[in-house]
Structure 1
Amino acid sequence: MSETLSLAPQQELWQLSARELAVLLREEMVRWWRQEARLHRIIAHLDNGGARNLGYTSVTGLVADIARCSGPEVKKLVKRALVTNPSHSIDGTEIPAAAPLAGDAAREGEISPEHVDKIVRVLEKIPATTPVEDREFAERSLVELARKAGTSQISKLGKEILGHLDPDGPEPRDTPDPTRALHFHQRKDGSAKFDGYLDPISAAKTLALLDPLAQSQPNDPSDDPLRRGRAERYGDAFMEMVALAASHPESPNRSGGRADLIVTIPLADLKAELGKACLDMVTDITASEARILACDCKIIPMMLDGKGQPLEVGRAKRLVTDAIRYILAVRDKGCAFPNCSRSPRHCEAHHVVAWAHGGLTEVGNLVLLCAHHHRLLHRSDWTLRMVNELPEFTPPEFIDPWRRSRSNRHTAQPRAA
């Protein structure tokens, strides 16, 4: 039976013997492991739609903002949470955890977070064709050893298990033919799924454009790889590349300038952020998404009859003119969101008081925001106001209970255009 020790209120650490301190350290470590396991459960619940309800595209970004931390430790914490706890499908069906036994042991305080990492690393290397009972036996063996051994012994047993379950190792990859192909399937909701491959030269040219756009900005804690996964970062980078190409004077779109999208929505729905809008006459989007597009777009007035047929179409007018955009670039020097360092050419103009609510399209009511922070501001409880003609942001209560305002401290530093 293990010895327990409680530190009396009047006792100080220096009054304890080395043996008593060691026992106390063990108790505190177990308590710490159990507390992290509780964090895992909270994070897993937030991953089941909670983070998106708060305006975040991933639970990792939410955890990083709440913890005011960035780096591999946050990513490891979220990964532990998701592999040791069940998740739920769209219809609410529970999906079992990838490492349920490791999760149970962690909640009991029997194994440390580092033990969980080692166990998961082995489980991830087990071939998908392995029978379920063999996989369960492997996890059970690793967890039982972890209850009484160090992490290095977990790695040794993992190698033995993998040598037994997968003696030939992973199959070599087939190299695709040096050709270019792009396949896409557009779904009913208007989204599209892409697949394809590029020859080495084309791949090098494409990645030379995508890689810089997908990397986090220097000295920018708000834009690190933890807030967006690799696939999401490259998806955003691809859209930035499309936006840059569309804004080129020789771009082959209808207007010869920025690409035009046709969004139709009743003005009342746009103001209330209720109902749906129609994108390019085909795809339904939410009124909230339409407001994001309405921040920086061309407005084409169109008069419809009672049956929705167009009677008269006015001339296109861009809300944010080039002159206004130049002034914003000089004032904000890029994305105005706290700690973001995206340059002006990667930003969109955002109305502080929404245009649909009567907000004027003038410098005092506009700020530059990168696409990521523009979406976050529209979809979350972050708020924005102008103070002394400069943008000031207030975080949600779950990030800062005192809701202390913040501004971008990097705006005084020169940025590339």
Structure 2
Amino acid sequence: MSKNSSFEPQRELWQLAADEKAALLREELMSLWQQESVVCRVIAELDNGASRELGYPSTAALVAEVARTSPAAVRKLVARALALNPSRSVGGAEIPAVAPLTGEAATEGAISPLHVDGVVSALQAIPGTVPVEEREKTEKTLVDLARTATTAEVAEAGRRLRDTLDPDGAEPRDTPEPSRTFRYRQGKDGSIKFDGYLDPVSGAKTLALLEPLALPHKEDNPLVRGKAERYGDAFMEIVDLAASHPDAPNHSSTRGDIVVTIPLEVLQSGLGQACLDMVTAITASEARILACDCKVIPTVLGTDGQPLEYGRAKRVVTEGLRLMLAIRDRGCSFPGCTRKPRHCHAHQGVRQTGVLI
């Protein structure tokens, strides 16, 4: 219990009536809030040059070391301290606090740190063109409300007051915020790691395509093909579908163009390795699978890698053969898979016909 507690030290908490416990909680919280306001004043003083004098790059770094935590963990506390307390210019002149009335209420222990954040956030959202008198009036209104209201009510009142003071809102940006981003990094082995952002509409469209394709198969082992793997496979199905579209912006205007370099005898035997896009090593078996749904352009290279002969493109799996597979299998031939024909590769079905690919 705090030093100013009105309850006798010899009484245990369990001996108190319910209303006494509630009153004690309120008293102790106010004491805690008062103590934080003292901490904030000390932090604000340290920010006036003392942190750098002690060799710290920022006040947050100093506070983090004293608190034995990370700068990110104390960032809100430091921001609160600087908003509630005055600072000094290089010449030593005092610069008024952003929210002086809020600081006074915090010193009394009348409002919580979360109430402080709500008031300060509302004040910082007010444009600089609003007169100082109106800003001060707004702070007083919010602080008076914070003494009895919830943090949510203070935040809502702050939004209403800001809209009243600035009915037109912030000026639009010259460059609109991007609603879709895609970033990727390609490794030396040809693999790609990517991330990005989609706005709600774009995200809904994407999930509408991905989710049906990412449904688990009956035979799926979650330890082998979990959710991430299923969505990765679904993403590649969409890429394959897009690449096969007649209007796809590929070099050949049909399937995506990739370069696979492999000795003829290795391709025929299925034993050995090939090179994908001059970078990535793949197996001969993987090269044969790629060849199923591609147009193959045979090229003869000399011993020094110079092209000696360049043939015509020829699709290994013809449209007629694909149609035959679709009629026969009505989709994926893998046990338990319900993929429709347009989502399937021809390799597995062709192998079952006895044709060597």
TM-score by length of 1: 0.41
For CA contacts below 8 A with separation 6 or more, give which structure has more relative contact order. Answer: 1
Structure with bigger gyration radius: 2
Q: If each structure's helix is expressed as a fraction of its own residues, which one has the higher value? A: 2
